[in-house]
Structure 1
Amino acid sequence: MDRESELLRAGRFDEAIAHAVRRTQGTPQAPEAWLALAQAQLAARRPEAALAASDAGLTAAPGDAPLLCAKAGVLRSLSRVDEATALYRQVLTREPDHFDAGFGVTLLAVEAGDWAGAETWLRRLAAAHPGRPDLQWLGARAAVGLGDLDRARGDLIQLSRDPRLAPDQRADVLLLLGEALDGLGRAREAFAAAAEGKTIQRRLYAERAAGREGAAERFARLAAWFAAADPAPWRTAPAPPRTVEDPAAHLFLVGFPRSGTTLLEQALAGHPQVVSLEEAPTLAAAHAEFLGSAEGLARLAVLSESEAQPWRARYWAEVAAHGLDPAGRVFLDKAPAGTEDLPLVAKLFPKARVLFAIRDPRDVVLSCLRQNFQMNALTYAFTDLASAAQAYAGCMALAEVYRTVLPVDLHEVRHEALLDDFAGGLAKICQAIGLAFDPAMADPAATARRRTVRTPSAPQVRAGLNRQGVGRWRSYAPGLAPVLPILDPWVRRLGYEV
């Protein structure tokens, strides 16, 4: 095992990156040095830096298969699926049995719900690369997707004991085991498996999280700033000039992760006039510029048109990078974690409408614990039940403060009510956002099967409308008991049964 891999296994991401940087400086023409740097940057959840390292390595070694696969992995993490697929296919054209490329194509097939394609690739990879634990995990993930839960449970229990697993792999195995156990109705065991997997992730990323602002702390800081702010500067915003490239309407879908945003997005994306983007970092640069400090917030409050225009341009460039052209159509930017970015929406896109997803707080927090997310400042909070509950409460409190200050056109969508009357609920949403109802919207499962949906909710949405997730928290009530006092105020405030 090389030094970078040892450091990554220990969660020492900055040291791994520094070590890899020294390698690239010492041997700038060596593709393996750039590969180590790209892998370290991606493991530290720095995708743009990982892309830059991959491209630098490919400049030194054009066509290098490991580097092409590394770049594809970064693009996949950014939901740029078509570009990732093309790179994997490029490698497989030259090297049909290349493991990383085959694994990447198979993983994309699993994420797309293409079970037949996934099974074909799994058999092919197993024949060429027998006994690999990562391949066994992917096979179990396909089994869960196909509903073969007993097989998945047995395979994952056996795999969880494999000494070859790195910590991040062991966490992945345990979280997937929790999913299989949940499907089998074994809630107590499912909770234990998920909690153990998240504990591993928390340890692994603890060094990176140390000294950084946590999600709940960030929400509290923003809420305190806006509670004390003069609302007058926020009542106006620079109006962008209309161009032929503009969408007919602009929507943001926010709330909190696991609040039903995927179902709603797929329903809206079924409309022929809607272009939808799933969880892309469209406002990440502006967030870093303005929301990280009181000084940045003060500048945002009085942003001029000349100052706003470059940030809008960056936003639309990010949209274009995902292969979308929303000109003349309704553009939906789905950002479940985007509630904190509403000041940016108010200032950069004052005519945009906001859909705010709401779901029973207990189901939301339980799902945040049970699901496996790409790691960032918010999802790190989901590695601990209490932190997840505090982040939820902080986000909802922040949303309440925002609504007293920001002039956003906001429409609440309650997940459970939408499931109770899907067509009627969609008709009300369409009325609120100025969109004519289309019958295709009533079949989100068909839409999801046509599109690439990479969120944890994808399998449920592809399976069609159901209420299996409603009140799921009751089966997990003993495990949730420590955080119910944190959530109960929001359960009551949002009108859910205590």
Structure 2
Amino acid sequence: MSTFSTALAAAYKAQQEGRLDLAEQQYREILAAEPQNSDAWHLLGVLETQRGRNGDAIDAISKAVAIQDGNPAYHYSLGRAQALASRFGPAETSLRRAIEIHEPLAPAHLELGVVLDRQGRPDEAMACFEKALRLKPDYAMAYFNAANVLRRRNQRDAAIENYNKAIELDPRLLEARFNLALALRESGRGGEAAEHLRHLVSVRPEWAQARGNLAVTLMDIGEAGEALELIEKAVADDPQDHRLRNNCGNLYFAVGRFDEALEQFRRSIEIEPDYGVAYNGLGSALRAVSNLDEAIATFERAVQLSPDSHAVRFSLADAYDRVHRTDDARPHLDRALELKPDFSMALLLKAKIERRDGFLEQSRDRLRLLLESVNDDSRASIATEMGHTLEALGEYEGAFEAFSDAQRCIRESEEFRQFPQDFYPATVTACRERITPDLVTTWESEPPADNVTPPIFFVGFPRSGTTLMEQVFDAHPALYTSGERPILNRLISEVKEMTGGYRGYPEDLDDLTDDDVINLRALYYEQSERMLGSGNQHLRIVDKQPLNIVHLAVVRRVFPEAPVVVALRDPRAVCWSCFIQEFQLNQAMIHFADLRTTADLYAKVMDLWLHYRSVLGVNAMEYRYEDLVGDFEGVVRRILDFTGVGWDDAVKTYHEKARSTVVTTPSFRDVTSPVYDRAVDKWRHYQAHLGDVTERVRPFLREFGYDE
């Protein structure tokens, strides 16, 4: 039996002090003289583990075990090395042997729990962590690992409690603070999460994941400016960090800067070609810019790299579903649910497919179970889908309650609260008050002589049927639709830069010089050409962004010759349809979370349109959605003749092209079918709840020719 010789003690001391080369040399000298020294083999193996040479560690510690099988420390160290080498079966055997020899060995129970958890056996893992804590009540790592299991089970309150206990016992356990921040963020406590992440960044400024997650968390709580500044600085400091690039792409994606998001995701993949997470982000950004074929190919590559990622599987399933390849979507959706049976967004997609397939009761029952089990950001989406399912079942009161619950969830969300309620209405009011006939008469009514065909601007209040006409435009071989990309918003920002922004928008439009207008037109064409891509430069842009109706003064100032198509629909149908959708929140869309504020915004915006119609002198044409679905060819001919492109038979089969196009609005599935009128009067099922809406929009019923 070996003893702790003076030489062994010296080697062990060097190892403890981090002088690993010296320690290894001394261990090997001892073993050369005494090959059966089990302690030397054991400590040499532990040293190899410290260096990350897990195979060598296993070999060395196995020799110690072969010499002296009855030492629990040897079996424990062997189990740790095997676990680090992802040899979980042998690791479990070694750790159970350590416990068999010496049952009170708390670290062995802890390590066995980690190994069982890695094998997908969380219940057994939790039992091990609890045993470790009974043996050692101040065991920070046991609290930390128990918290990880609880977090994956969505038992976030319990997870947070355990993370806090781990940090209290060992403040140096930075991974516990990091995971605590993630759990807090997932619980909607973004402010607290940001505090912990700020602490981590201050302690370890080089920790890329902490910086990246701080930026993402700041975005969640409405600190977009600081978030972008932080992530951009982090990328500049460490441009070869693929994770930072990926996080930067996610933030650009979140604020709608899709071209910059694409660049960051691609750089992340260039640095680390097998980084599946970045492929997932790249696929989402490609889908957002309607690059369908590449998006699906990218998601498929993400699945190849991360076949056991429930999130990646879901992304591909969702992409297939959105392009009407539901049969291709099903196996990936099923796999996502095998990997994460409580994955709420995957269960929601399954319910949507069931509704579309006519299994309404099955969809309803699935959604009810989901609503009973979730209390997070997905609840609004689930309640919205429940509303649509109950509506399809003819249960209109239940549908109204579900839609109302969805909007209540949105109003109570942290994302909703980050937007000031009065900002967008104040912008509309400013345009109404400051764009006067006297102001407009000072503007040129003729375009500069740049010999460029102007874009077609397509506007209207959201949910006025614009997606249908957008797909008709897109089917025309001479046209290309913008997919609601904010090209005009870029011009508005540029106006401020050109004029100094002293008077503010929209007065600063009057401060533009002739050269400024020419430069703004050039900027617009540059942006649109980038969107078109090579080979499509001959196409004419249809700039479809419904709420650009608020900014038609910019159109008049920069593109006085441009045709403007204005979509109209029964105001009651519009307001109801806005209320029952789940929009990406922004300064305008927050108003659709309540029927009253929806009607108020409609009245403000459409009153502004009536004002513009009388004072701006824009080249505009109105059409009504109800007329379009009632006389499709007649209305479309008039619109195409008005824009100057003329009729083409391809527009009659717009729905066939739409099946291969990414439509990002809530109407993405409706526009892939031939024209129908079933949506025209849906709002009438809810008239009992729309009395205040009707009163608020009554002047527009008369103005646009609808029965009161």
TM-score, normalising length: structure 2: 0.63
* Gap regions ≥5 residues in structure 1: none
2:382 aligned with 1:173, yes or no?
Answer: yes
1:265 matches 2:265: no
Q: Which residue of structure 2 aligns with residue 253 of structure 1?
A: 458
Q: Deviations over 1:391-415 (max 9, x none)?
A: 1111101111122332321111111
Question: Over the residues paired in the alignment, what is the CA RMSD in angstroms?
Answer: 3.2
CA deviation after TM superposition for structure 1 residue 20, in Å = 5.5
1:3 aligns with 2:181: yes
SS at the partner of 2:582?
Answer: coil
Q: Residues 31 and 61 of structure 1 are in contact (CA less than 8 Å); yes or no, is this contact kept in structure 2?
A: no
Partner of 1:337: 547
**For each residue in 1:292-323, what CA deviation from the matched residue of structure 2 results, as whole angstroms up to 9, or x when unmatched?**
98533232124224323444444344434545
Contact 2:279 2:298 in 1 (8 A): yes
Query: Are residues 1:230 and 2:439 paired?
Result: yes
Equivalent in 661, 664, 667 of residue 451 of structure 1 = 661
After superposition, the Cα gap between the structure-2 partners of 1:268 and 1:472, relative to the gap in structure 1 and judged at 3 Å, is same
Q: Secondary structure of the equivalent of 1:495?
A: coil
Please give the alpha-carbon distance, in whole angstroms, between the structure 2 residues aligned to 1:341 and 1:18: 39
Distance apart, 1:4 and its partner CA = 5.3
User: What is the match of residue 389 of structure 1?
Assistant: 599
Evaluate the alpha carbon distance shift between residue 460 and residue 222 of structure 1 in structure 2; reply closer, same or farther with a 3 A threshold: same
| Paired residues for 1:86-125 under 5 Å | 87-125=298-336
Deviations 1:447-466 (A, max 9, x none): 21132212111222213211
**In the TM superposition, what is the alpha-carbon distance from 1:70 to its structure 2 partner?**
4.1
How does 1:59-98 map onto structure 2 within 5 Å? 62-63=272-273, 64-70=275-281, 72-73=283-284, 76-77=287-288, 84-85=295-296, 87-98=298-309
SS in 1 for 2:458: strand
| Distance in 2 of aligned mates of 1:175 and 1:56 | 34
Is 2:619 the partner of 1:409?
yes
Distance in structure 2 (CA, Å) of the matches to 1:417 and 1:73: 36
In structure 2, the CA distance between the partners of 1:24 and 1:327, relative to structure 1 (3 Å rule), is farther
Q: Is the counterpart of residue 241 in structure 1 residue 419 in structure 2?
A: no
Structure 2 residue 581 is the aligned partner of structure 1 residue 374: no
Match 1:308 to one of 508, 513, 517: 517
Alpha carbons of structure 1 residues 185 and 96: separation in structure 2 relative to 1, 3 Å: same
Tell me what 2:694 maps to.
484
Q: What does residue 217 of structure 1 align with?
A: 426
Q: Among the aligned pairs, what percent are the same residue?
A: 26
For residues 126 and 290 of structure 1, do their structure 2 counterparts lie closer, same or farther at Cα, with a shift above 3 Å needed? same
How far 1:259 sits from its partner (Å)? Answer: 0.3
Number of the residue aligned with 2:248: none
* Farther off after superposition, 334-343 or 219-228: 219-228
Measured after TM superposition, the shift of residue 200 of structure 1 is 1.0
Question: Secondary structure, in 3 states, of the residue corresponding to 1:437?
Answer: coil
Q: Which has the higher mean CA deviation after the structures are superposed, 68-77 or 451-460?
A: 68-77
Q: Which residue of 2 aligns with 1:279?
A: 484
**Cα distance in 2, alignment partners of residues 427 and 362 from structure 1:** 27
Partner of residue 349 from structure 2, selected from 138, 145, 165: 138
* TM-score with structure 1 setting the length: 0.88
Higher relative contact order (CA 8 A, sep 6+): 1
Cα displacement (A) at 1:104: 1.4
Question: Who wins on radius of gyration, i.e. which is larger?
Answer: 2
Matches within 5 A, 1:11-22: none
Corresponding residue SS for 2:622: strand
Q: CA deviation at 1:193?
A: 0.6
Please report how far the alpha carbon of residue 12 of structure 1 lies from its aligned counterpart in structure 2 after TM superposition. 5.0
The whole-number CA distance in structure 1 between the counterparts of 2:521 and 2:189 is 36
**In the TM superposition, what whole-angstrom CA distance separates every residue of 1:258-293 from its partner, at most 9, and x where no partner exists?**
001111111122211121221111122233455898
For 1:174, give the aligned amino acid: A
Distance (whole Å) between structure 1 residues aligned to residue 616 and residue 464 of structure 2: 22
CA 1:48 to 1:378, structure 2 compared with 1: closer, same or farther past 3 Å? same
Would you say 1:466 and 2:680 are equivalent positions? no
Structure 1 residues 215-243: Cα deviation after superposition (integer angstroms, max 9, x where no partner)? 3332122111114752212343652613x
**For the residues of structure 2 that align with 1:259 and 1:217, how far apart are their CA atoms?**
23
Aligned length: 490
Give the counterpart letter for 2:679 in structure 1. Answer: G
Range 300-309 or range 77-86, more displaced:
77-86
Note the C-alpha offset of 1:154: 1.3
Bigger drift between 327-336 and 45-54 goes to 45-54
Query: In the alignment, what sits opposite 2:642?
Result: 432
CA distance in structure 1 between the partners assigned to 2:264 and 2:197 by the alignment: 13
User: What is the CA–CA distance in structure 2 between the aligned matches of 1:11 and 1:392, rounded to whole Å?
Assistant: 33
Task: Give the SS at the match of 1:283.
Answer: helix
Aligned to 2:369: 158
Distance in 2 (CA, whole Å) between partners of 1:206 and 1:131 is: 26
Partner of 1:34 in structure 2?
212
Q: Are 2:498 and 1:297 equivalent residues in the alignment?
A: no
- Contact 2:435/2:506 (8 A) holds in 1: no
The question of whether the paired residues in 1 share the 8 Å contact of 2:317 and 2:333 is answered with yes
Residue 356 of structure 1 aligns to a residue whose secondary structure is: strand
Pick from 404, 409, 432 the counterpart of residue 200 of structure 1. Answer: 409
Is 1:237–1:346's contact at 8 Å kept on the other side of the alignment? Answer: no
Structure 1 residues 82 and 446: alpha-carbon distance in aligned structure 2, compared to 1, 3 A threshold:
closer
Distance, in Å, in 2 between the alignment partners of 1:471 and 1:327 is 40
Write the letter of the residue equivalent to 1:30: A
Distance in 1 between residues matched to 2:558 and 2:355, nearest whole Å: 42
> Larger deviation: 330-339 or 56-65?
56-65
